[in-house]
């Protein structure tokens, strides 16, 4: 029994999904002349300067799945820049699952912001400091998304869980298919110290690199959007294991410095009900 559980967990952490070249699953979405693709199609560099940022997006939309991206962030003085990896639907009352890497001054380190939108309702930001230098090498950032939970992970360590709490009136992203999107853009109005630190354009072009385009999701189509029977829909992945929960709490205790659930300045009429339930 233990060996079976271990095997399942290994599949979860290390499954390669649809590991392919960039052109098979993705296309440049903006800033064409600010995107560099390696000859083997395995690495994409997004560039940003005064003229433009850049981005790419998946050719397909997905309803649930496991999505991984390896990213090496802008080195040096990255203040004011935002490197993003997220999923988003097309509708106005949209769903969205965000990794946003907020650039900073040297030696102050990146802040990783996660957020969840469901039916157009957001304001669910959490921010952590990373326990490594994300500019020195590639690290894996993953989203596990099924009907019961969203799990954000960094190098297989859960950093956030957003549970399906529709039973208490909390919107959950489960009805709208989403594209996978990556971008590098100018966020100096808010990204670093609330917008106090601006971009130093003498450091341009800023470069963020992406690899490991691993997609294991249900492709949304007119014929089927139910997406059942996949490994990430199995009972083992409807919650965290004891070890995963332990690692999540390690991140929360040591590296989380902002949580919307504890922000009294937010314009919530009352504390969001999921705050008492989510890990």
Tell me the longest C-alpha to C-alpha distance in the chain. Answer: 58
Number of domains in the chain: 1
Q: Identify the CA nearest to 256 among candidates 119, 100, 114, 141.
A: 114
Task: Kindly provide the residue ranges of all beta strands, DSSP E only, lying in 95-156, ordered along the sequence.
Answer: 96-102, 111-117, 126-129, 139-145, 149-154
Is 251 contained in some domain? Answer: yes
The reply to whether omega before 240 is within 30° of 0 (cis) is no
Tokens 């930001």: give the residue: 125
Residues 178, 88 contacting (CB under 8 angstroms): yes
Tokens 């988003």: give the residue: 88
Cβ neighbours for 212, distance < 8 A, ≥ 6 positions apart: 19, 68, 69, 70, 138, 140
Q: How confident is the model over 253-279, as pLDDT tens digits?
A: 999 999 999 998 876 677 899 998 876
Is 6 contained in some domain? Answer: no
CA torsion, ordered 118, 120, 124, 127, to nearest 10 deg = 100
Alpha-carbon gap, residue 25 to 211, rounded angstroms: 13
Is 16 contained in some domain? Answer: no
Is 87 contained in some domain? Answer: yes
- Regions of the chain short of the pLDDT cut 70: 1-19, 222-227, 267-268, 279
Is 245 contained in some domain? Answer: yes
**Predicted local confidence at residue 38, as pLDDT:** 96
The angle formed by the CA atoms of residues 84, 88 and 90, to the nearest 5 degrees, is 135
**Predicted local confidence at residue 91, as pLDDT:** 77
The CATH number given to whatever domain includes residue 192 is 2.60.120.200
Is 10 contained in some domain? Answer: no
Alpha-carbon gap, residue 268 to 26, rounded angstroms: 38
Is 204 contained in some domain? Answer: yes
Alpha-carbon gap, residue 189 to 169, rounded angstroms: 33
Alpha-carbon gap, residue 150 to 164, rounded angstroms: 8
Is 44 contained in some domain? Answer: yes
Alpha-carbon gap, residue 200 to 103, rounded angstroms: 11
Residues 26, 213 contacting (CB under 8 angstroms): yes
- Indicate which residues carry an active-site annotation: 96, 100
pTM exceeds 0.85: yes
**Predicted local confidence at residue 221, as pLDDT:** 73
What percent of the chain stands above pLDDT 70?
Answer: 89
Domain enclosing residue 33, as ranges = 21-276
């Amino acid at each position: 029994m233990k060996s079976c559980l271990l095997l399942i967990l290994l599949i979860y952490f290390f499954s390669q999904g649809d590991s392919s070249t960039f052109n098979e699953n993705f296309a440049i979405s903006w800033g064409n002349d600010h995107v560099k693709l390696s000859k083997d199609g395995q690495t994409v560099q997004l560039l940003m300067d005064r003229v433009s940022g850049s981005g790419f997006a998946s050719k397909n939309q997905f309803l649930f799945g496991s999505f991984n991206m390896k990213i090496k962030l802008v080195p040096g003085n990255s203040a004011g820049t935002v490197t993003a990896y997220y999923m988003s639907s097309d509708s106005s009352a949209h769903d969205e699952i965000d990794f946003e890497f907020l650039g900073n001054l040297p030696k102050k380190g990146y802040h990783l912001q996660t957020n969840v939108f469901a039916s157009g309702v957001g304001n669910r930001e959490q921010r952590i400091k990373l326990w490594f230098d994300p500019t020195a090498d590639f690290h894996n950032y993953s989203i596990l998304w099924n009907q019961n939970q969203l799990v954000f992970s960094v190098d297989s360590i859960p950093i956030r869980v957003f549970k399906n709490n529709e039973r208490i009136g909390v919107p959950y992203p489960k009805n709208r298919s989403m594209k996978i999107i990556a971008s590098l853009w100018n966020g100096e109005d808010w990204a670093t110290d609330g917008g106090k630190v601006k971009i130093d354009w003498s450091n341009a072009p800023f470069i963020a690199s992406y690899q490991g385009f691993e997609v294991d999701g249900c492709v949304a189509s007119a014929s089927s959007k139910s997406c059942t029977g996949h490994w990430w829909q199995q009972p083992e992945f409807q919650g965290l294991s004891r070890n995963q929960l332990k690692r999540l709490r390690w991140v929360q205790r040591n590296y989380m410095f902002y949580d919307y659930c504890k922000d009294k300045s937010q314009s919530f009429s009352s504390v969001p009900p999921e705050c008492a339930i989510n890990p």
